[in-house]
Every structure is written in structure tokens, then in C-alpha cells.
A and B are shown apart, each in its own frame.
Chain A
């Protein structure tokens, strides 16, 4: 789960990572009030920062300086409602302006190849670290972190020294890094990034920006719900989540239901390949109903997939491994029964491919049920092709 900058900075402040003073504003009037409060405290210059979970805010005009409350209000009214890379700006962070002497980069993240954690630090901050690494790789230090030893002040000093930070920034940057590690472990983060970490003209080191990604798997010991972002969530994804379904909305016409993340991902690919022959029909979603595939889960899955108005056909692709296919077939039959019982007539064609354990019995059950919208196809490739073909036919027909 990605956090907004202001949420990241609230966590930073809680853990003792120095950040500029800031207030969140949802309206231009609130932005003005925030700027007035800073002005009253002798800090009239503020920065108005669009709060969206996307990079490149500055280039898009989403980060601007204001000299006082009037300008803050005007700037906020321009930034609020802006679209930045498909994200609508619903709130801005009004922050005291910092006097920047230098900009650095610092992060902690998961190092998949090393099966451990990594700190990245560079004296060149304020731009994309990938770009810095590309242009001047010698300026980017990658320091592995032993998860058991963690990061104390000595390790933190090693990190910022490896990043070639100047002597005057070392003590402040090391202290910041030690606290940032506390955020990383304390919040079960998989990424904490400060870009830029700045040295102010009066010698302070601060986090001028903050990016935090939390581990969804840690929900049992972290309060992740407080960071939920209902405004941004796709409404179908939100309803799927309520039903504990692993659903991702995509842009396409063929609804996909399968079991197992890898098989469903693969199904999306095979449908997209087949769709190339039918005018560019594409998968409408990712939905993994997991190993069990009970009738109720299947019914909920079908309901969610069919509630997507762009869906023209559905492909159910199940491999019976632990579950046998007769149970899955019964699940599909009762799922359609349950939907029709709720008054939701199923109109779109449903292509079903069952394979694996007890597949013959599963196919017999589906045949015997004689559901008009259900069509069985023997292999995954052929089923994908048929589902794409039906979606294309329905799209042109409509």
C-alpha cells in the first residue's frame, strides 16, 4: 500500500525524522488558513504540494511556491482538481518553505536478489534515482542491511558516508537515516524514500519529500485501514475487497475468473493474444478465487466481474489441483442459480475451461445443467480464443 506524502511525513514526524511543518488542505480556503497560520508564526513563504500517489508532480505543476496567504489560496485553487497522471488532486499539503543548500537521496527497501534489505544513498538528490544511477552510477551507494543487526548510528553514518555526502551534512543525515530505519521496521514498510533529503542553508538535514509503501501482509499487526484511500479506489475493486476477492480492474471486455495468481495472470496474457485477432479485445480484470472455489466464492466472483459495464463475455479458467473439478462445476451451477435467485439475470456468455482432477465429471455436471449462457471449451488456449471472439461479437453487435 502506497501512502500520500503527508501521511509519510506524519509517520516521519512520529518517529523523529525531521520534516518541515505542514498542514493538509482540501479547499483553497483551508490552504489560505494554513498559510495564515504559518505567516503568523513568521513564516509567510509556503509550498503548496499536490497530494497524489504519482511521481513527476513538480513537472506537472503540482508543486508551487506561494509568498503568502493570498497566493497560497490562489495556487491551491489551481492545483486542487488537477489531473496528474490519471490521479485527481483532492488535497494539498501546505508546508513552510525551506531554504535549500543541497539535495540528497536516501531510501531503505527490499532487496529481492540479496534476500535482504538495502539502503540507497546519493549526494545527488531531487531527481529520479534511476536516472542518477544511469548517468553517474558512482554517485549512488547501495549498502546491504542485515535485518537482524538493523541500522544504528554507526551503520547510518556508514550509509551516508558511502553516499558521498559532505562532512557538514553527515551528522544530521546519519541521525535522519537511523530514524528512517525505525520507520521502515516499525511500520512494516517495504519502501521508505526521502528524495530530496535536504541540507538547509542553516545546516539542518530534513526530509523534504517522503514516499512510504507498507506491506499489505502486515495487516495483522499494523493499522493499515487508517491509510485507506476510498476516493482513489475503483468502485468495483472496492466491492471486491469487501468480499475478500483478489480482484484488479483492467481495461478490457473479457471478464476473467481463475484459481491461482500465476494461472490467472497467464489467462490474461492468453486472452490478450487471442484478442489481437478479434479487433484488440482485452481482459477486463484479474480475479483469483483461490484454491477452494466454493459456490459462494464463485457466485461473488461472477457477480463482481459481471458488474463491470465493459464486460462482454466471461472466461472461467480453473485447474483442479487440490479442489476437484466436479466441486468447481457445482460451484458454477449454483453460482448462476444464486445470481438469478437474487434477480440478476446472467446475459453475457460464460466460457468455461475445466481441467485437472476429476475434469470429466465436472464437464458432465455443467453439460447436464444445460445453462444457456455457459459454453465449455477443452483447452485454455481455445477457451481464451472463444471468449475473445464472443466479446468481440457482442461489442460489434452493441
Chain B
């Protein structure tokens, strides 16, 4: 069953007529995902052709859901309109919205998260600034390359896109149930903890890989959660041991301030609760391999 996505997930693309929406809509279709349409309020009623598939363009998420039965939206709308796009998806009560857009102001993310919470969190939000969700062999919603890995029983949750790809590739022979890129922004919808619990509950996942990085205390909180709620083996990797204080390392959230947010503190918190932490991405991949072979 994997998590968050199934082979029956019906995906729409918000911003389907833009260059990113077209490019990745085409890639999702090629990966076998059921992309059923998209939105652009100025092009409602038109049809867009992606890799030989003609898809309807709707004015709103609600219209698209009604016409296509969509239950997942992938947002490529530029950062100037991302907040409005997410709020529209929440209003339409779509079960899952994946926000790929990077460069979203934190006030906008805080507002759309607060809005979704006020509506009772009927819509799961993943991102912003994330690569999306891939369940190999079932569905691919976002920009994670479909052809670097295979279907299997490892679950992966990560703040970083390329480290996700690296890990999926290195462990491609063992394969993944689902990989979730949650994004590296200061405020994100779905967290490490949400994914850990979903993997714990997923009968098709045997072990969990968690990739973190400097900034905030999400890894420390995940460690506390693992201690109390997660019985499946967890292997982790944390990036940014050599990052200096006060310098943002690419992701808006990847910054060490004072003694908070260091990779060392995260590693120690995870190891304290029995999580094995790899020194390098390849080292973490080796630990996962050991865990999977030991089963």
C-alpha cells in the first residue's frame, strides 16, 4: 500500500500550463502516474497535451476534482501565487497537496498551514520546496526521478531532494515502498514525525531511512518520537557537520543559530534512542543494507 499514494491516486497539476508543470506532468505520466488534468484559471476549458496524452485544464481545483475524481494535487505555481494555490486546494478539500515550488516566503507557508489547520487538516500538505512523493511501481507525484530505483520495502523521509535521489539509487536493488521529500524550509506541512508514523503503520515497509540536515530541531523531535512510537528499524543520515554558524546552506531552513540546529546534536539525539546514524550517505546506505539483510 505504501504511504500517502496508491496505484489508484488521481493526480492534478496546479500550474499545469507553466514550463515546470508541463515538464514534470509529462515525467509523472511517463512514470505511470495517473495524471488526470490540471488547473490554470486563465486557461479553463482548454486541453493541454503532455507526452501524447491530452489533459483537461480547469479553472479551479474544485472543478478539476469534480470532473476527474482527483485526490492529489501537485503545485508548481510560482512563489508569488503559491499561498493562494494551496488555500484553493484546501478549500476544495483535496486529500493531498504536494507543494514543489521553492522560494515561498515563510509568512505565506505559515498562513496556508494555519488555514489548513483551521479547516481541521482535511488536506495533507507536503512541502513547500520539496521534491514530492514517489512510491515506485505505484505512483509518482512530484519531481523525484522514477527510474533511479525500484519497488521494495524501505521507507524514506528526507529534507533534501538530491540526497533522497542518491539514497534511492544506492539502494535501488533493495527498493523502496515510498520516498517522501518533506523539504528544507523553516515551516513545512508534513514532518519527519508524520512520515515515521505512516511508515510504522504501513505493512509494506520494513525499515525506515530518515535524512535530515542542520537547522531547527525536527530531527531531535523525531528522535523523541521514535523512542516512544516506532518499533521498525530506523537508519538516519544528517548533513551539515562542517557548516559554520550563521550561514544559510542552500535551504532557507538550513542554518545553525547559536548552539541550536547543529548536525552533531541531531546525531546524538538519534543515536541515544537507538537509531543508527551513517557518517556519509554511503555509510547510511550500508547500514540500511545490513538492517534489510538481517531480516
Mark A residues whose CB is within 8 Å of B: 110, 112-113, 115-117, 130, 146-148, 185, 188, 190, 215-218, 220-221, 246, 248, 250, 258-266, 268-270, 272-273, 282-283, 286, 288, 291, 319, 321-322, 355-357, 379-381
Q: Closest B-chain residue to A146, C-beta based?
A: B114
Q: What 1/0 mask marks residues of chain B from 154 to 165 whose CB sits below 8 Å from any chain A CB? A: 000011111111
The answer to the question of B74 belonging to the interface, with a C-beta cut-off of 8 Å to chain A, is no
Task: In the A-B complex, list the 9 residue pairs whose CB atoms are closest, starting with the nearest.
Answer: A262-B160, A261-B250, A260-B162, A263-B162, A321-B165, A262-B163, A265-B239, A218-B105, A266-B239
Do the beta carbons of B79 and A321 come within 8 Å of each other?
Answer: no
CA distance in complex: A113, B188 (Å)? 9
Do the beta carbons of B244 and A321 come within 8 Å of each other?
Answer: no
Most-contacted residue by chain A among B211, B241, B280 (CB, 10 A): B280
**Least CB distance, B72 to chain A, in whole angstroms:** 20
User: Interface residue tally of chain B, by bracket?
Assistant: 35 or more
**Least CB distance, B268 to chain A, in whole angstroms:** 16
Do the beta carbons of A148 and B250 come within 8 Å of each other?
Answer: no
The answer to the question of B198 belonging to the interface, with a C-beta cut-off of 8 Å to chain A, is no
The answer to the question of B148 belonging to the interface, with a C-beta cut-off of 8 Å to chain A, is yes
Tell me the B207-226 residues at the A interface (CB within 8 Å).
211, 213-214, 216-218, 221
Mark B residues whose CB is within 8 Å of A: 27, 79-80, 103-107, 110-111, 113-115, 118, 143-145, 147-148, 158-166, 169, 184, 186-189, 211, 213-214, 216-218, 221, 237, 239-244, 247-254, 258, 263, 279-283
**Least CB distance, A246 to chain B, in whole angstroms:** 6
Please pick, from B103, B145, B189, B237, the residue contacting A322 in the complex, using a CB distance under 8 A.
B145
Do the beta carbons of B252 and A319 come within 8 Å of each other?
Answer: no
Interfacial chain B residues near A379, Cβ < 8 Å = 282
Do the beta carbons of A261 and B169 come within 8 Å of each other?
Answer: no
Do the beta carbons of B218 and A321 come within 8 Å of each other?
Answer: no
Please pick, from A188, A258, A321, the residue contacting B145 in the complex, using a CB distance under 8 A.
A321
Q: List 24 A-B contacts (CB under 8 A).
A: A110-B110, A112-B216, A115-B189, A116-B114, A117-B110, A147-B111, A188-B107, A190-B106, A217-B104, A258-B162, A259-B162, A260-B162, A262-B161, A262-B251, A263-B162, A265-B250, A266-B160, A283-B242, A286-B249, A288-B250, A319-B162, A319-B166, A380-B281, A381-B283
Do the beta carbons of B216 and A217 come within 8 Å of each other?
Answer: no
Do the beta carbons of B250 and A246 come within 8 Å of each other?
Answer: yes
**Least CB distance, A356 to chain B, in whole angstroms:** 6
Do the beta carbons of B217 and A112 come within 8 Å of each other?
Answer: yes
